[in-house]
Amino acid sequence: MFAVVVTLSILPDRLEEFLPLMHRNATASLTEEPGCRQFDVATDPTRPEEVFLYELYVDEAAFQAHLTTEHFRTFDAATGDMIARKSVTTYAQVVQ
């Protein structure tokens, strides 16, 4: 398994617009991508502009395929100007 951890800092005035798009992307990833096993979107009321993603793919190739999907490219284009900062960390092995 291949894990992807993303922390996003969303511009405060764009959060309400961002979250539905984020959830749509996560749902499409889970339902349309056979290599996507998990896609969690987490927030905390004490840090409302921070969005944490945990994504789990069968392998790195499945994650790379995710980046080329229509739903991801649409999401990325629609939300690029809503994101103040983005941190992406990957883990090549998930110990079970």
Domain edges within the chain: 2-91
Domain 2-91, second-level architecture: 2-Layer Sandwich (3.30)
Tell me, what's the pLDDT at 95?
Answer: 77
pTM of the model: 0.91
Dihedral sign for Cα atoms in the order 50, 10, 26, 36: negative
Confidence band of 93 (pLDDT split at 50, 70, 90)? confident
Q: What is the DSSP string of 57-91?
A: ESSHHHHHHHTTSHHHHHHHHHHGGGEEEEEEEEE
* Helices vs. strands in the chain: H and E counts, helices first: 3, 4
Query: pLDDT for 22-42, tens place per residue?
Result: 999 999 999 999 999 999 999
Burial of 21 (0-12, 13-18, 19+ CB in 10 A): middle
How far, rounded to the nearest angstrom, does the alpha carbon of residue 77 sit from its chain's CA centroid?
A: 14
